[in-house]
Amino acid sequence: MYKNMAHHLRGLSAATLDGLEHALLTRDPRQMLPSLQKNLPNPTLVDTGLSEQVALLIRELAAGRTPVVLDATRLRQDPETVLRRACEGWGLAWDPAMLTWPPGPKPEDGVWAPHWYEGAHASTGFEPYRAPERRFPEHLRELLDACLPLYERLLAHAL
């Protein structure tokens, strides 16, 4: 199993990617972009990885494969249902233990964990979804406009 960010897929050959089973985790750019700018003050479309996710989705569908697409909002709204459906898609048995975990860092977090996973490390399970209360940053509006069609393409296939 590999865990990777979509923007790191640039430059990998189709042959490398075709030999893998894919799960795509996406997040509404109206929520993702303000979060992304906390560590990347001037994010770009490349930084979001959305183009790479859509390209991978298109390639998989064209090859007759159906990757599991998870939307972060739907996952937080109903984690058990979404994870059950994901397990079905992967051919895995459902385990209720998937809904909770011990707090703290995990070996599989990778080198970026100190920069991105503070909230995840403090959590012990899925918190209920809450819409953002802050106003969307106006300087990210043009990037949002570029992201939305890509996100909507992924969302159309999300569990």
Give residue limits of the domains in the chain.
6-155
CB 43 within 8 A of CB 147: no
For 75-106, write each residue's pLDDT tens digit. 999 999 999 999 999 999 999 999 999 999 98
- How does residue 107 score in pLDDT terms, banded at 50, 70 and 90? confident
CB neighbour list of residue 28: distance below 8 Å, 6 or more residues apart: 71, 72, 73, 151
* CA distance to 14, 37, 96, per residue, from 55 (Å): 11, 24, 33
> For 31-79, how does the pLDDT look when each residue is reduced to its tens digit (9 = 90+)?
999 999 998 999 999 999 999 999 999 999 999 999 999 999 999 999 9
CA 23 to chain CA centroid, Å, is: 9
Distance in angstroms (rounded) separating the CA atoms of residues 59 and 108: 27
HSE on the CB side for 79, CA within 13 Å? Answer: 12
Tell me the pTM.
0.87
Please tell me the predicted confidence (pLDDT) of residue 63: 92
